[in-house]
Chains A and B, each alone.
Chain A
Amino acid sequence: MSAYREFIVFLKRRKTFLLGLILFSICLVLGFLISLFAPYDPRRWFTTPIGRPPSLNYLLGTTALGQDVFWLLAWSLRNSFIIGVLGSSVGLIIGIVVGSLAGYRGGLFDRIAMMVTDTFLVIPNIMILILIASVLKGQLSIPLLGILIGLLTWSMPIRNVRSMILSLREREFTQIALFSNMSTISILFKEYLPHIFPWVSSAFINRMIMSMGMEITLAIFGLSSMDEATLGTMLHWALKFQALFTGLWWWILTPIIFSIALFISLYILSIGLSEYLNPRARLR
């Protein structure tokens, strides 16, 4: 109960955090609850009249392809969200496992891992993703895309986790754990993971932003799962059919506004979470 009350106090003091939470909840509810009530598959073309402005029948208008923007948005938020969560968790899991092993073990494994990591830090991973996606054009499903993004973005987490583990290794409790015959795995998971948890939670959110952003980048080049509804593909089709020139501003403005809201709210949440989980920063 006290933890709950503490959180409420924190919310009252940080109004921006509350704002982020509200914006984020709206996106979440739209994506996972309201999207369930779609009367028809919003991806299909020519199910509604073409290019209608927002009205009571079509809350956010319709596209030049005869899709209802509102339902399309709900589905897009859900799919972008899935990509974000998958991309972020896959990248982070690789980062935590390899980074902590490299930092804890040291030696040759550490040196090789760091060399590879430094290399992939420089190589623009979107270029690799573009190459893969153009090879598999049209065959990427939403979960596959998320996992693929995660598989390409582990270099930063490895670096961060490694440096944290390096400093934790020098602390006294590592010695105690070693003397009490704990295995490497249980030291890493039982002793170190709680220490890096504040970082993990805010990094998770930041990497979600990055993964969703990568999907949008891919979609702008026409390389995402183009038949699915995501924030990126919504933007792509709106751009391709020149929604602004033809005056269908609601078509292009909806994904813009919602991706900005989603990105900013997630960022606010990540700052707020790291402050909340790190009591020293909270006192400041």
Chain B
Amino acid sequence: MIGVKAYIASRLIVFFIVVYIGVTLCFILPRLSPINPVETVLSRYLAYLDYQDPTEVEYLRNTLMEIYGLKGSLLEQYIGFWKRIVVGDFGPSLILFPTPVSKLIGDSIPWTVGLLSTCTLFSWLTTNIIGGFAGYFSNRRWAKAFSVFAITVHPIPYYIMALVLVFLFSYLIPIFPMGGGISMGVKLSLSFEVIVDILYHSILPALSLIIVSYGGEFITMRALTINTKTEDYVQFAESLGIPKRRIVLKYVIRNCLLPRVTGLAISLGGIFTGALAMEVIFTYPGLGMLLYNAVLNGDYNLIMGICIYSILGIAFAALLLDLLYPLVDPRIRYR
């Protein structure tokens, strides 16, 4: 049990360092810029006013500075920044002024996380099995066909695949909607029709995620299996006459799972950001679309909020995967 405790402790330390460095970067970077967000907003407001009373403008400036956490010395701002993160309050958005950033983000997170986690888990699980079999029977024709397909789709980014799918299945053969997460005018609820509508809109985004991640995952799994199948214990199992299917599932794939879990934890960040750009192409109402609108309108607070939430979310997901690792790898438990 000592092994597990030391392992969890070391993972937790890495997690806190990630959060600390990530948040600090999000604090420092915008402050290095020559553009002052308060002056930007202020000039936007003042453009609507005919008469500008200097004391009132000064008062407005002060209030805005307070809202955006730009008051006081850098150290005070930094401490205030952490307080806001702990409470989860990033101030109001600029485009939709009184709406808090955290509410906007909260509304779009379910879309992104729902789509992303389903697709990533699905492709990770299925490629473990397909890649395992294809690596074990690497000389069969079907295995080679799978490899060729994987090598072709692997280098294509999600959003390019998304564009290809939109072109094929919404423009040339219009069987799927061009975008959106739900039909116009349909209200979100848990009725059957609404769920079907949401699923129908998420087919193309899901496909583009699954196809591309299938490529990379398949290639790594196949390479791992090819290395594993020459191990002594596999040869031994073969000479015992254990059925091939059983060997692949119980002996080969199980041992390949360890580097696959670590690999998934490392690639999470890439999958996530790729999926954000993919959402823009489908105008899927997740975090990516929110980020797009925030950039379009120069909504500095919203951009920062999205960045911080994403970094925290990915760090947390990676931590969860790391904590699951001892379940897959018994060696940590008995160290």
Give chain A's interface residues, CB within 8 Å of chain B: 115, 118-128, 130-132, 134-137, 209, 213, 216-217, 220-223, 235, 239, 244-245, 249, 252-253, 256, 259-260, 263-264, 266-268, 271
Contacts and interface: CB of A to CB of B under 8 A. Distances in A.
27 contacts: A115-B14, A119-B17, A121-B269, A123-B25, A123-B314, A124-B269, A124-B311, A125-B269, A127-B273, A127-B307, A128-B29, A130-B291, A130-B295, A131-B26, A131-B29, A131-B307, A134-B300, A136-B33, A217-B274, A220-B292, A235-B163, A244-B167, A244-B178, A245-B178, A252-B163, A260-B156, A263-B156
A221 B295 contact: yes
B9 interface: no
B273 A124 contact: yes
Contact of A267 (B26, B35, B155, B277): B155
B269 A244 contact: no
Contact of A209 (B155, B167, B265, B291): B155
Contacts of B171: 244, 249
Given A124-B310, A124-B311, A256-B160, A131 B155 contact: no
Given A119-B17, A123-B25, A124-B314, 9 more contacts: A121-B266, A121-B269, A128-B25, A131-B30, A135-B32, A221-B295, A222-B292, A244-B178, A267-B154
Interface string B155-166: 111011001101
B33 A135 contact: yes
Nearest to B154: A267
Contacts of B155: 209, 263-264, 266-267
A178 B268 CA distance: 41
Contact of B307 (A118, A130, A259, A264): A130
Contacts of B33: 135-136
Contacts of A130: 291, 295, 303, 307
A128 B266 CA distance: 17
A278 B69 CA distance: 56
Given A123-B315, A221-B292, A256-B167, A216 B30 contact: no
A220 B14 contact: no
Contact of B281 (A122, A135, A239, A245): A239
A213 B155 CA distance: 10
Nearest to B279: A220
Contact of A249 (B152, B167, B281, B311): B167
Contacts of B273: 124, 126-127, 217
Nearest to B310: A127
Contacts of B160: 216, 256, 259-260, 263
Contacts of B30: 131, 135
Interface of B: 14, 17-18, 21-22, 25-26, 29-30, 32-33, 35, 151-152, 154-157, 159-160, 163-164, 166-167, 170-171, 178, 265-266, 268-270, 272-274, 276-277, 280-281, 291-292, 295-296, 298, 300, 303-304, 307, 310-311, 314-315, 318
A221 B164 contact: no
B18 A122 contact: yes
A266 B152 CA distance: 11
Contacts of B276: 217
Contacts of A271: 151
Nearest to B159: A220
A119 B15 CA distance: 8
B307 A220 contact: no
Contacts of B311: 123-124, 127
Contacts of A268: 151
Contacts of A245: 178
Nearest to B15: A122
Contacts of A264: 152, 155-156
Given A130-B307, A135-B30, A220 B281 contact: yes
Contacts of B291: 130, 221
A254 to B, nearest CB: 12
Q: Interface centre among B21, B35, B160, by most A CB within 10 Å? A: B160
Contacts of A263: 155-157, 160
Contacts of B164: 256, 260
B157 A137 contact: no
Contacts of B14: 115, 118-119, 122
A130 B310 CA distance: 12
A122 B280 contact: no
A266 B25 CA distance: 33
Contact of B269 (A115, A123, A137, A266): A123
A115 B11 CA distance: 11
B152 A213 contact: no
A271 B139 CA distance: 19
Contacts of B26: 131
A135 B314 contact: no
B295 A222 contact: yes
A245 B170 CA distance: 10
List of 8 A-B pairs having minimum Cβ-Cβ separation, nearest first = A124-B269, A267-B155, A135-B33, A126-B273, A263-B155, A217-B277, A220-B277, A213-B157
